[in-house]
Amino acid sequence: MSPFLIAPSILAADFARLGEDTDRVIKAGADMIHFDVMDHHYVPNLTFGSMVCKALREYGITAPIDTHLMTTPVDDLIINFAKAGSTYISIHPEATHHVDRSLELIHSCGCRAGIVLNPATPVEWLTYTIDKVDMILVMSVNPGFGGQKLIPSTFAKIKAIREIIDSSGRDIRLEVDGGITEDNIGSLAKAGADTFVSGSAVFHSKDCVATINKMRMEIDKAIKSL
């Protein structure tokens, strides 16, 4: 996999033409599709379930699908989303009673496991989970809605987690999610993120190819300046 991945969130897609709109951002250069599952219980919004993930696979979407479960509980949905074709499945530790068991379940279903830290969730959650995760997803907004502004404390948190990942010696992606634009993606890469979820900025762009290219240029520029 390339060192930096752009993962548009279909939360900002045209739901009436979901297959076509998802294909459009992949063809425009996106690496992975971010799939925001909300249950109107863990978060105050309701989106889509595993049937929609399966439908995207059947439509012909072959890019990795990065499923972000904002639901409680999570275990049944892990099984359903794995069967539906997810590549990564990420869970919020507050949303399951047995975090270790849920992470193991993701692996036993053949998917890569992610842990998601909300803006106020401490990095200490990683102490006993780092050996079982393939991705750490840092929420740069409170989960539940697209189109919010990035919370500035995200930068310090990404830096801290980058150090934790590097000293673990493990191959773990550091993903950031919420409020990401062409203007802040470079600083996020500089802080240590390597995977970028962007909903509104990509799907609502008048020129999606130009937006994704600009995002990649900003990442390159920021990394070269290190």
Pair of tokens at residue 74: 């999570």
Does residue 34 interact with ligand DX5 by CB under 6 A?
A: yes
Stretch that binds ligand DX5, among 105-113, 126-134, 197-205, 213-221 (CB under 6 A): 197-205
Exposed, middle or buried: residue 207 (CB in 10 Å: 0-12, 13-18, 19+)?
exposed
Query: Is 177 a known active-site residue?
Result: yes
Given the rule CB under 5 A, which residues bind Zn ion? 36, 68, 177
Query: What's the min distance (Å) between Cβ of 153 and ligand DX5?
Result: 16
Q: State which residue has the least CB distance to Zn ion.
A: 68
DSSP-assigned letter for residue 162? H
108 token code pair:
């036993």
Q: Segment near ligand DX5 (CB under 6 A), from 7-15, 17-25, 93-101, 164-172? A: 7-15
- According to the binding rule CB under 6 A, does residue 49 interact with ligand DX5? no
CB 116 within 8 A of CB 154: no
Site for ligand DX5 in 92-131 (CB under 6 A): none
Tell me the β-bridge partners of 89.
67, 113
Query: In the bound complex, what is the minimum distance in angstroms from residue 136's beta carbon to Zn ion?
Result: 13
3-state helix, strand, coil in the chain (%, to 5): 45, 20, 35
Residue 196 forms beta bridges with which residues?
Answer: 6, 176
Backbone angles phi, psi at 134, to 5 degrees: -105, -10
Binding-residue total with ligand DX5 (CB under 6 A): 21
Is 23 one of the catalytic residues?
A: no
- Per DSSP, 132 falls in state G
Which residue's structure tokens are 């990394």? 223
**Residue sitting closest to ligand DX5 (CB):** 199
Which residues fall within 8 angstroms of residue 145, CB to CB, at 6 or more apart?
45
Closest separation between CB of residue 200 and ligand DX5, Å?
3
* Cα separation values, 96 from 62, 69, 73, 86, 122, Å: 29, 11, 6, 19, 16
In the complex, least distance from residue 28 CB atom to Zn ion, rounded to whole angstroms:
19
Nearest-approach distance from CB 105 to Zn ion, in angstroms:
20
**40 vs 101, which CB is nearer to ligand DX5?**
40
Q: Which helix (H) or strand (E) holds 68?
A: strand 65-70
> What is the x/- site pattern for ligand DX5, positions 154-193, by CB under 6 A?
-----------------------xxxx-------------
Point out the catalytic residue in the list 36, 39, 66, 134: 36
Q: What are the residues binding ligand DX5 (CB under 6 A)?
A: 9, 11-12, 34, 36, 68, 141, 143-144, 146-148, 177-180, 197-201
Which residues are identified as catalytic? 36, 177
